[in-house]
């Protein structure tokens, strides 16, 4: 008997994460929804990923997993490549170190199929914790909003887990009608992508359950003191795109603005540590261009403005030293 259920394409970009990748793929194979194609896009791995995955495809993964390898171009490029290969009516993105829980696809497909009108996306809650942590002790992430614009506002204000990469199940025809993942963005790429797509959505559905696992591990973070300049400028590009979308939607108000300033402050502190004068000037000019509200009463804006002028008058080292001192005092008082 021919299975008439809609196919779901799971796209998994990977780079030198073989052990985690196997677990991610197995979590897809263990879905209660069986009509799933799994597309692994290897972004130029230099470990044993290719030989190991091809051996698995000749064995237990045969007929269930498609593998392709590209030159290293970043996760966003790998996701775009996977989307071109996808044949499913729905698309699920999954990072290679994360997991789908068994009912994830089944519950979201059911909700999308039962909707009275065509809906572009269905989201859900997730769980976040360490690799050895049991599900019961993990914290719930993502939020439930009734309208796409509410997600846009939440993410613009800095809600990085308002909709995480693995949360939504998308209609493929909708994704193909929009611009893909920004391949010039490596930090904040999921936030930028979701804000841009949700701004074009008419409706959104939600499953009130935790259906995936975001696994935490050590790695580069925006708050790291040694964050490199290309990644920080990538985060800057993502923030600029988010602001542009919000402004075009007519949702640019003082509440959203203050959230953007808080994100900008963290980013600026890290740019100061890189010490690239041209990047700092570009960032300062952009902040000045979006200052449309009287935010003088907001502590985040006052601190950011003080850092701007401090850098111009006394240099980068002085501002960094003052900021570290202020954060130390704040921590001791809390």
State the pTM of this model: 0.90
| Count of structural domains within the chain | 2
Mean pLDDT of the chain: 89
Is 295 inside a domain boundary?
yes
CB 246 within 8 A of CB 156: yes
Is 223 inside a domain boundary?
no
**Of the residues 165, 183, 216, the one at which a domain ends:** 216
Q: Are residues 44 and 184 in the same domain?
A: yes
290-304: pLDDT as tens digits: 875 555 446 667 777
Contacts (Cβ under 8 Å, ≥6 apart) of 296: 302
**Of the residues 216, 237, 271, the one at which a domain ends:** 216
Is 221 inside a domain boundary?
no
Q: Are residues 106 and 27 in the same domain?
A: yes
Q: Are residues 282 and 168 in the same domain?
A: no
Its domain, for residue 240, covers: 229-333
124-183: pLDDT as tens digits: 999 999 888 899 899 999 999 999 999 999 999 987 789 999 999 999 999 999 999 999
Q: Are residues 131 and 107 in the same domain?
A: yes
Q: How many residues does the chain have?
A: 334
What is the distance between the terminal CA atoms of the chain, rounded to a whole angstrom?
A: 65
Q: Are residues 210 and 262 in the same domain?
A: no
Find where tokens 């690799």 sit: 131
Distance CA 17, CA 96 (A): 7
Q: Are residues 191 and 236 in the same domain?
A: no
Q: Where are the beta strands (DSSP E) in the chain?
A: 8-14, 36-42, 65-69, 90-93, 99-100, 121-130, 139-141, 169-171, 205-216
Is 251 inside a domain boundary?
yes
Find the Cα–Cα–Cα–Cα dihedral 6, 7, 9, 10, rounded to 10°. Answer: 90
**Of the residues 187, 216, 245, the one at which a domain ends:** 216
CATH of the domain at 72: 3.90.550.10
CB 169 within 8 A of CB 92: yes
Q: Are residues 28 and 71 in the same domain?
A: yes
Is 222 inside a domain boundary?
no
Q: For residue 153, give the nearest of 203, 121, 199 by alpha carbon.
A: 199
246-272: pLDDT as tens digits: 999 999 988 898 889 888 888 888 888
Is 162 inside a domain boundary?
yes
Is 275 inside a domain boundary?
yes
Is 168 inside a domain boundary?
yes
């Amino acid at each position: 008997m021919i299975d008439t259920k809609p196919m779901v394409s799971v796209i998994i970009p990977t780079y030198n994460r073989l052990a985690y990748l196997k677990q991610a793929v197995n979590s897809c194979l263990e879905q209660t929804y069986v009509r799933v194609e799994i597309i692994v896009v290897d972004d130029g791995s230099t470990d044993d990923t290719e030989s190991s995955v091809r051996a698995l495809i000749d064995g237990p993964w045969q007929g269930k997993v498609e593998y392709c390898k590209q030159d290293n171009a970043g996760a966003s490029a790998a996701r775009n490549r996977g989307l071109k290969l996808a044949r499913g009516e729905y698309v699920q993105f999954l990072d290679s170190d994360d997991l789908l829980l068994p009912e994830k696809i089944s519950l979201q497909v059911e909700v999308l199929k039962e909707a009275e009108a065509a809906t572009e996306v269905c989201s859900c809650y997730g769980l976040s914790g360490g690799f050895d942590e049991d599900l019961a002790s993990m914290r719930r992430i993502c939020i439930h909003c009734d309208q796409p614009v509410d997600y846009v506002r939440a993410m613009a204000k800095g809600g990085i887990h308002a909709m995480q990469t693995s949360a939504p199940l998308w209609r493929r025809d909708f994704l193909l009608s929009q611009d893909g993942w920004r391949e010039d963005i490596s930090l904040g790429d999921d936030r930028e992508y979701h804000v841009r797509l949700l701004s074009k959505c008419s409706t959104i559905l939600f499953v009130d359950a935790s259906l995936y696992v975001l696994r935490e591990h050590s790695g580069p973070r925006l708050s790291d003191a040694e964050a490199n300049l290309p990644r920080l400028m990538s985060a800057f590009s993502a923030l600029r795109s988010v602001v542009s979308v919000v402004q075009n939607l007519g949702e640019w108000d003082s509440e959203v603005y203050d959230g953007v300033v808080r994100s900008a402050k963290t980013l600026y502190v890290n740019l100061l540590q890189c010490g690239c004068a041209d990047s700092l000037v570009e960032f300062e000019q952009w902040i000045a261009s979006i200052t449309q509200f009287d935010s003088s009463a907001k502590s985040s804006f006052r601190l950011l403005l003080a850092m701007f002028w401090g850098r111009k008058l006394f240099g980068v080292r002085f501002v960094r030293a003052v900021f570290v001192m202020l954060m130390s005092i704040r921590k001791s008082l809390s």
